[in-house]
A = this chain, B = another copy of it.
Amino acid sequence: MTETIQTAVVGVTGYAGAELARLLLRHPRLQGVPPVFAGRVDAKDLARGGVPLAEIHPQLAGGNGSGNLKLEPFSWELLAGRGVEVLFLATPHEQSRQWVPEALARGLRVIDLSGAWRLTEAANRAVYAFADEGSEQAAAIQAQAVYGLPELHRAQIAGARLVANPGCYATSIILGLKPLVAAGLVDLDHGIVADAKSGMSGAGKAPTARTHFMYAADNLSAYNVFTHRHTGELLEQIGVEQSQIVFTPHLLPIPRGILSTIYVWFHDPQTAATVSRVYREFFRSSPMIRLHDKTLPQIQYSLRTNYADIGFQLSADGRRAVVVSCLDNLLKGASSQAVENLNIMLGWGEAEGLE
């Protein structure tokens, strides 16, 4: 087992990147080995060796006198010079498509938080329109990528060189649905509805008409109906056809958190005890899942935690279930899940630094 390791993060200026920085800086295995933070640095900041992290994210600043971490200008030489072994990419997907080949060639292990390498089927990737789609190199890399949802692919993650960290909506819905589908309870042809609601950080940091406070506050809106990019992850990971599931994302007027309300019809009537047992067995080795028997989880349950919270309610006839699955989109939906993957890749406890 590795004692510790040098990590690097590209994309620390975004919301998920900031949370990833926070988690890595306090990870017990990484004490004394802070990540290298690398990215684009303006000419004027080059002179002072980069931008102090505390200027980018004031919340991350240390107390009076402490703290001196910087965002440094990215180069492969920087990473090599610092002995980086694991690279986190919290970058746009096109950038991840371009950088991952080089990173792997240089022997780095990569945890990519973007959508670049999550999808096995070309049809599901079509919505991304990757510039290198169809290339042999991309195909070869995709073939070795592991979908980084520990609850489903723990064993493969352990040995992976490239982990594709799941989408936030996808994580929420797959965790709520997979146990029931895997147990054969769900009548797929009856159709599954996944009505998901996400806080605004999911819309990214770029100022747009849609992220303007006046648009987002006191509002709720559905978007990308039938066309959201995370749909492919649902199809591939849950094992359903396009015609068997409808997924509708909505934008909530809160900073963060996702709640997915999932509707399924069963082949046969079920009892709450049976359904509860199915979940408990599926997640019996999963430390980042919290199951709720008595109440349905709410967004506040999982907010600023690294857990996914899952609960359900059956109709009186036991033929239908409403499943509620909550998580923090920047944590279990992004950066704490990336740390889980790091833990698994390095043989550490899956929940280390996350409880």
**Interface residues, chain A, with chain B CB atoms under 8 Å away:** 15, 58-59, 61-66, 190-191, 193, 195, 197, 200-201, 203, 205, 207-209, 211-223, 225-226, 243, 246, 248, 250, 252-255, 257, 259, 261, 263, 265, 283-284, 286-291, 296-305, 307, 309, 313-317, 319-320, 322, 324, 351, 355
Contacts and interface: CB of A to CB of B under 8 A. Distances in A.
Contacts of A351: 63
Contact of A207 (B208, B283, B291): B208
A288 B61 CA distance: 11
Nearest to A60: B305
Given A220-B298, A222-B298, 8 more contacts: A61-B307, A190-B191, A191-B263, A197-B250, A211-B213, A212-B212, A213-B255, A225-B313
B214 A212 contact: no
Given A190-B190, A201-B214, A195 B64 contact: no
A253 B253 CA distance: 7
4 closest A-B pairs by beta carbon, nearest first, are A207-B207, A221-B298, A63-B287, A195-B195
Nearest to A287: B63
Contacts of A221: 259, 296, 298-299
Number of copies: 4
17 contacts: A63-B307, A64-B290, A65-B287, A191-B265, A197-B250, A211-B212, A211-B213, A220-B252, A220-B298, A222-B259, A223-B296, A225-B313, A226-B313, A226-B316, A226-B322, A248-B263, A263-B263
Contacts of A64: 283-284, 286-291
B298 A255 contact: no
A97 B92 CA distance: 43
A303 B218 contact: yes
A15 B254 contact: no
Given A63-B290, A287-B64, A319 B243 contact: yes
A312 to B, nearest CB: 9
Contact of A205 (B205, B214, B265): B214
A212 B193 CA distance: 31
Contacts of A313: 225-226
Contacts of A253: 213, 217, 252-254
Contacts of A222: 259, 261, 296, 298, 322, 324
**Of A219, A303, A320, most B-chain CB atoms within 10 Å:** A219
A197 B253 CA distance: 12
Contacts of A190: 190-191
Contacts of A218: 218, 254-255, 257, 299-300, 303
Contacts of A304: 59, 304
A203 B355 CA distance: 29
Nearest to A351: B63
Contact of A320 (B246, B255, B314, B324): B246
Contacts of A201: 214
A94 B321 CA distance: 32
Given A214-B201, A263-B246, A307-B63, A58 B220 contact: no
